[in-house]
C-alpha cells in the first residue's frame, strides 16, 4: 500500500505491505533496535500504517496483550500486614511488655485492660496512616496525560495510557512524549531529554540515524517517553510502552527509592523527637520518684509507659500529612492542582504574583474584531466563537464596483495569510484543536467564505513561532495547474514590529511598492490605535523569500478579561500582594487591559523588554517593586524579572502556559501552569496547575494554602496543650506524694482523643473567608511561634489546675477510690474537648465561625462524649477502665469547671480584637506596608 511520508519537510512514497498477525513478543521494539531500523522496517515489524494508523479493534487487542501504557506500581503489602507493622512501634512493644509482666504477676485484669488499650491505639494509628496514603495516592491521579493519535485515518485525542505499540502519534510544541516513538516525520523538531541525559540543550531530531557517535545515550531518530517537545512538531510510531519503555526501566529502579519527606514533615519529626526526649526524661523522673516514695514498681511502670504513649506525639507527622493531603484535594475541587505538597506551605507567603495576560487574566477566547489592510481598508468582524456565525463588514466602501473589488481582494489577502500560516483546526461542532489565536483567524476566514483557501497550497516547510522571533512562517508551493514555474511563496504572521523587519515592500491598491519610513510609521500608528482598544495586533505578510516580503495588513483580536479577576487583584493589593503583568503584547494592549483590571495604577510604571535589557541588575533591583506591567518580554527576561523580585526578598508566584515560560516557572517560588491551554512542558516545570486557567483560582489557592497552615497550627496547639497537661498533672501529683490521679488505661484513652477524631477534625476546618485578607506570612515564620506557645501554656495550665482542683476535692478522705479517679479522668477528658473547641480558631470566637461549619468536628466531639459516657456507665468498660457511674450533678459540675478553658480562650480573643489591646492582635499586621512584608 503506497503511503505518503514527510521527511524533514519533503514527501516520499513508501510501500509497506501488511503482514500476518505477529506474535506478542515481536510486536514491540526496544529503542536501540528501533533506532537502527528504517521507518519502513519498523512499520512492517509492528504491522501498522503511517497514514491510517491502527484500527480500534486491533488497538484493543494489543492493549489486552500488552496492558495499559502506564507503570505497574509494586504490589503493596496487604492491609493485615500494614496493621501488624503498627506493633513494631517501640512504645507499643513497651506496652506489650507491661501486659506480659502483669500476666506473670497474675494481674490478669491489668493485662486484659492493657491489651485492649493496645488494640485501640494501634487501630487509630493504622487508620491515620492508611488515610494519609490513600489521600496522597489520589493526588497522583488528578492529571492524566493525554496525546494526539491517528486511528483509522483520523486524529483522535485520548489518554496516553491507551496507546499501544504500532500507534501513530503526533507531537506538537510543548507536548510530553507519551511513549517511546520511532520518528518518521520531523519539522524543526527538538526535544528536551534532560531527564535522560542531564543535558539542558534540546536534541534536534531527524528521521534517519547517523553513525557519527555510537556511544550516545539517546538517538536522534527516537522520541522517548517522558521527554518534552521544545520546538517544532513531528510524528512517530509507538515502539514500546509502559514498563518496556526506556523510562519504564528507570521507573523500576525508582520504585526501590522512598520519597523524601516534605520540609514541614521533617520539622514535625524534629519537633516530635525533641518532645519525646523531654517526655521520656520527665516520665523517667516520675517513675523514679514514685518508686522512691514506695509506690508499687509495676504500677509506676504501667503509668510511665502509658504516659509515654499519651505524651509523645508520634502521630504528629501523619496528621500533618493528612491535613496537607486533604487540603490539596480540596484545592483540586477549586480547580487548583498542587503537584508538590511543600507548595502549600509557600502559598501563604507569596507577596508578588507575576501573571501572564492571555488566558490567565483574559479568557483566551480570541475573536478577530478588526481588519486593517496595508492600503487603508478597514473591516469590522461580527460574531464570536470558532464558527462561521457572523460577517466581515468592510467600512466606507463605495458603490464603485472596481473599488469594492479591490477592497475585498485586500481583505482576502490578509485572511489568506492567517489561514495558510496556521496549524489549528475547527471541527464541524465548533471545537478548536490548536492555539486560540490561530482558531480566531480561521473563524474570520470562515465568515468571509474562504476557509478552504489553505488547500490551494502545498506546505513544504514550517518555521515555527518562538518567543524570541515572535513570528511564524511557512514555505509553500501553489497547487494550481498554471503554476508551471514552481515558484515558492512564503507566508508570515506575527508581531507588527517583527513582521516589518522582514518586509521590503508593501501592498497598495493592487500594486507592490517599496516600503519606506512613512509607510512604516503609518502601519505602526494603525497598530497602536488598535492596541489602545485592548486588542492584540498581528501583522500579515507574504513574499518570494523571507528577506523580501510584502506587507499586507493586520488584524486586531479581542480577548475579554475574565470575570472576578478585578476583584481578586483588588483583594491582593489590599493585603500587600503585588500583582504584575508580564506579557509579550505591545504596550498599548498590555496597559489597556492592566488598567481595566486594576493592575496598572497611577503611581506604577511600565517597562519593555528592551528597557529591561538596558538596565543593570542593581538598577532593576531598585525599580522592580514600582513596575506593574512588563511588556514585549522574552523568556530570558521573564527569568530575570523573577530573579529581580527574589533579590529584594519577595516570595514570587509566576504564571505561564508555554514552552517559553518553563524556565521562569521553575525559578519562581511557586510556578503556576495553565491546565487547559498550557503545554506539557509548562505543567512539568510548575508546582501548581490551574485547571480552568483563571487568575481568580490563584486567590482561591492562596486562601486554601493559608487555611491549611492555620489548621495545622490549631492541631499542634491542641495536641501540645493536651500532652503538656497530662505530663504536668502526673508530675505534680507524684512530687506532692499524692496517689496517681489517672490509671494506665485512662491515660491511653486520653491519647486516643489527642490523636483521634477531635484532633483529626481540626485539620479539616473550613477555610476562614477572612484569611485571604491577611497579609502574606513571612517565609521565615516558624510553625511554632511565641503566640502559639503562649496559647498552649495557657490552655495546659487551666487544664492542670482545674483537674488538680477536682482531684483534691474528691480526695478529701485521703483514700483513693474509683469515684475519685473517674471524676478526675472525666474532668480531664471534658477539658480536652472544650480545649479542642477553642482551638478551632486562633483569633475568632467559636460563635463567630459557627458551631456547625465543621460538621466533622461536631461528630468527632459527640462521638468522644458518647465514648466517655460508655466508659463511665457501661459495666464491661467500667471494669476495663476502673471507673464507676457518676450522678447528673457530678457531670454538671464537671462541665461548669471544664468550660473555663473555652471561656478564658474566648475572652483572650475578644481582648485581642478590641482596643486598647489591639496592639497585641494578629490582625494589626493587616495594615503593614508591603515593604514590611518583604
Q: Which residues are catalytic?
A: 356
* Cα–Cα dist 464/469, whole Å: 10
Q: What share of the chain is helix, strand, coil (3-state, %, to 5)?
A: 50, 20, 30
Q: For 668, phi and psi rounded to 5 degrees?
A: -70, 160
Q: DSSP characters for 812-866?
A: TTS---HHHHHHHHHHHHHHHHHHHHHTT-SSS-HHHH-TTS-HHHHHHHHHHHH
SS3 418: helix
Cβ count within 10 A of residue 593: 26
| CB burial of residue 750 (10 Å; 0-12, 13-18, 19+) | buried
Determine the Cα angle at 458 with ends 457 and 459, to 5°. 110
Cβ(27)–Cβ(46) under 8 Å? Answer: yes
Burial 858-879 (b: 16+ CB within 10 A, else e): eebbeebeebbeebbeeeebbe
* Cα–Cα dist 619/607, whole Å: 13
Query: For 813, how many CA atoms within 13 A lie in the half-sphere containing its CB?
Result: 6
Q: Which residues contact 602 (CB under 8 A, 6 or more apart)?
A: none
Burial 761-770 (b: 16+ CB within 10 A, else e): bbbbbbbbee
The candidate with the shortest Cα–Cα distance to 440, out of 557, 359, 536, is 557
142 forms bridges with which residues in the sheet? none
Q: For 344, phi and psi rounded to 5 degrees?
A: -60, -40
Give CA separation, 766 vs 308, 783, 857, 898, in Å.
32, 19, 11, 26
Place of cell 524534629: 270
Q: Lay out the sheet containing 578-582: strands in order across.
A: 336-338, 688-690, 670-674, 652-656, 352-355, 578-582, 627-631, 605-608
* Cα–Cα dist 880/188, whole Å: 77
Q: What is the CA radius of gyration of the chain?
A: 35
* Cα–Cα dist 28/66, whole Å: 9
Alpha helices, H only, 202-296 = 246-254, 263-292
Residues in the chain: 934
Under DSSP, the state recorded for 416 is H
* Cα–Cα dist 110/115, whole Å: 8
The candidate with the shortest Cα–Cα distance to 742, out of 215, 324, 304, 242, is 304
Strand pairing category for 154-159 and 203-204: unpaired
* Cα–Cα dist 594/569, whole Å: 10
The candidate with the shortest Cα–Cα distance to 685, out of 195, 3, 331, is 195
Q: Give the three cell numbers for residue 396.
A: 466606507
Strand pairing category for 503-508 and 457-463: unpaired
The candidate with the shortest Cα–Cα distance to 316, out of 716, 647, 847, is 716
Amino acid at each position: 500500500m503506497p503511503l505518503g511520508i514527510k521527511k524533514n519537510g519533503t514527501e516520499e512514497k513508501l510501500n509497506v505491505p501488511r503482514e500476518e498477525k505477529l506474535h506478542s513478543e515481536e510486536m514491540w521494539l526496544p529503542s536501540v533496535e528501533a533506532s537502527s531500523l528504517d521507518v519502513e522496517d519498523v512499520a512492517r515489524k509492528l504491522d501498522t500504517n503511517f497514514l491510517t494508523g491502527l484500527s480500534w479493534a486491533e488497538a484493543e487487542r494489543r492493549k489486552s496483550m500488552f496492558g495499559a501504557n502506564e507503570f505497574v506500581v509494586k504490589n503493596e503489602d496487604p492491609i493485615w500486614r500494614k496493621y501488624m507493622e503498627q506493633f513494631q512501634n517501640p512504645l507499643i512493644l513497651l506496652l506489650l511488655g507491661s501486659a506480659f509482666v502483669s500476666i506473670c504477676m497474675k494481674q490478669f485484669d491489668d493485662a486484659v485492660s492493657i491489651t485492649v488499650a493496645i488494640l485501640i491505639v494501634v487501630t487509630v494509628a493504622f487508620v491515620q496512616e492508611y488515610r494519609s496514603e490513600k489521600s496522597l495516592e489520589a493526588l497522583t491521579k488528578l492529571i492524566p496525560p493525554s496525546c494526539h493519535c491517528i486511528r483509522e485515518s483520523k486524529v483522535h485525542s485520548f489518554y496516553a495510557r491507551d496507546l499501544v505499540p504500532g500507534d501513530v502519534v503526533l507531537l506538537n510544541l510543548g507536548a510530553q512524549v507519551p511513549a517511546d516513538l520511532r520518528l518518521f516525520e520531523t519539522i524543526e523538531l527538538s526535544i528536551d531529554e534532560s531527564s535522560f541525559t542531564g543535558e539542558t540543550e534540546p536534541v534536534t531530531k531527524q528521521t534517519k540515524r547517523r553513525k557519527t557517535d555510537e556511544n550516545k545515550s539517546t538517538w536522534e531518530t527516537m522520541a522517548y517517553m517522558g521527554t518534552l517537545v521544545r520546538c517544532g512538531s513531528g510524528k512517530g510510531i509507538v515502539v514500546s510502552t509502559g514498563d518496556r519503555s526506556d523510562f519504564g526501566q528507570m521507573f523500576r529502579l525508582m520504585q526501590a527509592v522512598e520519597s523524601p519527606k516534605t520540609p514541614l514533615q521533617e520539622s514535625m519529626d524534629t519537633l516530635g523527637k525533641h518532645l519525646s526526649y523531654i517526655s521520656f526524661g520527665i516520665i523517667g523522673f516520675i517513675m523514679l520518684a514514685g518508686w522512691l516514695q514506695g509506690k508499687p514498681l509495676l504500677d509506676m511502670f504501667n503509668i510511665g509507659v502509658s504516659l509515654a504513649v499519651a505524651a509523645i506525639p508520634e502521630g504528629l507527622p501523619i496528621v500533618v500529612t493528612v491535613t496537607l493531603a486533604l487540603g490539596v484535594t480540596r484545592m483540586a475541587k477549586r480547580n487548583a492542582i498542587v503537584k508538590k505538597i511543600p507548595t502549600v506551605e509557600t502559598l501563604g507567603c507569596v507577596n508578588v504574583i507575576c501573571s501572564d495576560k492571555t488566558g490567565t487574566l483574559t479568557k483566551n477566547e480570541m475573536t478577530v474584531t478588526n481588519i486593517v489592510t496595508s492600503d487603508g481598508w478597514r473591516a469590522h468582524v461580527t460574531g464570536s466563537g470558532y464558527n462561521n456565525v457572523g460577517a466581515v463588514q468592510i467600512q466606507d466602501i463605495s458603490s464603485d464596483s472596481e473599488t469594492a473589488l479591490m477592497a475585498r481582494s485586500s481583505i482576502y489577502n490578509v485572511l489568506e495569510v492567517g489561514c495558510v500560516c496556521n496549524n489549528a483546526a475547527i471541527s464541524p461542532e465548533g471545537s478548536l484543536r490548536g492555539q486560540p489565536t490561530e482558531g480566531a483567524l480561521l473563524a474570520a476566514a470562515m465568515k468571509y467564505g474562504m476557509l478552504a483557501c489553505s488547500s490551494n497550497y502545498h506546505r513544504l516547510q514550517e518555521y515555527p513561532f518562538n518567543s524570541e522571533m515572535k513570528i511564524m512562517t511557512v514555505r509553500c508551493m501553489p497547487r494550481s495547474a498554471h503554476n508551471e514555474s514552481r515558484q515558492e511563496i512564503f507566508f508570515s504572521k506575527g508581531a507588527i514590529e517583527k513582521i516589518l523587519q522582514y518586509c521590503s515592500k508593501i501592498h497598495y491598491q493592487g500594486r507592490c511598492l517599496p516600503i519606506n519610513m512613512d509607510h512604516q510609521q503609518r502601519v505602526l500608528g494603525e497598530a497602536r490605535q488598535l492596541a489602545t482598544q485592548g486588542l492584540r495586533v498581528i501583522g500579515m505578510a507574504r513574499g518570494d523569500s523571507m528577506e523580501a516580503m510584502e506587507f499586507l495588513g493586520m488584524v486586531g483580536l479581542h480577548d475579554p478579561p475574565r470575570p472576578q479577576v478585578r476583584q481578586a487583584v483588588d483583594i491582593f493589593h489590599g493585603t500587600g500582594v503585588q500583582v504584575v503583568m508580564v506579557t509579550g503584547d505591545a504596550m498599548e494592549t498590555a496597559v489597556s487591559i492592566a488598567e481595566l483590571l486594576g493592575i496598572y495604577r497611577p503611581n506604577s510604571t511600565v517597562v519593555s523588554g528592551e528597557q529591561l535589557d538596558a538596565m543593570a541588575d542593581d538598577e532593576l533591583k531598585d525599580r522592580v517593586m514600582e513596575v506593574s506591567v512588563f511588556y514585549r518580554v522574552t523568556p530570558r527576561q521573564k527569568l530575570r524579572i523573577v530573579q529581580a523580585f527574589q533579590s529584594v526578598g519577595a516570595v514570587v508566584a509566576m504564571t505561564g502556559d508555554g514552552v517559553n515560560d518553563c524556565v521562569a516557572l521553575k525559578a519562581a517560588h511557586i510556578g503556576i501552569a495553565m491546565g487547559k491551554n498550557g503545554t506539557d512542558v509548562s505543567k512539568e516545570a510548575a508546582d501548581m496547575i490551574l485547571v480552568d486557567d483563571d487568575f481568580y483560582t490563584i486567590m482561591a489557592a492562596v486562601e486554601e494554602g493559608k487555611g491549611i497552615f492555620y489548621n495545622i497550627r490549631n492541631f499542634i496547639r491542641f495536641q501540645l496543650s493536651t500532652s503538656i497537661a497530662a505530663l504536668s498533672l502526673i508530675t505534680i501529683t507524684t512530687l506532692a506524694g499524692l496517689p496517681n490521679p489517672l490509671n494506665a488505661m485512662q491515660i491511653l484513652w486520653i491519647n486516643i482523643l489527642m490523636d483521634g477524631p477531635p484532633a483529626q477534625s481540626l485539620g479539616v476546618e473550613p477555610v476562614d473567608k477572612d484569611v485571604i485578607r491577611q497579609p502574606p506570612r513571612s517565609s521565615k515564620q516558624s510553625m511554632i511561634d511565641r503566640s502559639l506557645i503562649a496559647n498552649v501554656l495557657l490552655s495546659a495550665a487551666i487544664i492542670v489546675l482545674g483537674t488538680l482542683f477536682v482531684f483534691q476535692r474528691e480526695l478529701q478522705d485521703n483514700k483513693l477510690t474509683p469515684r475519685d479517679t473517674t471524676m478526675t479522668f472525666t474532668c480531664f477528658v471534658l477539658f480536652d474537648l472544650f480545649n479542642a473547641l477553642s482551638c478551632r480558631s486562633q483569633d475568632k470566637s467559636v460563635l463567630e465561625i459557627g458551631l456547625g461549619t465543621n460538621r466533622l468536628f461536631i461528630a468527632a466531639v459527640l462521638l468522644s462524649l458518647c465514648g466517655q459516657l460508655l466508659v463511665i456507665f457501661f459495666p464491661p468498660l467500667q471494669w476495663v477502665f476502673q471507673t464507676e457511674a457518676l450522678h447528673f450533678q457530678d457531670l454538671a459540675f464537671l462541665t461548669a469547671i471544664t468550660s473555663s478553658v473555652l471561656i478564658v480562650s474566648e475572652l483572650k480573643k475578644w481582648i485581642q480584637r478590641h482596643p486598647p489591646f489591639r496592639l497585641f492582635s494578629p490582625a494589626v499586621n493587616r495594615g503593614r506596608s508591603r515593604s514590611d512584608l518583604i
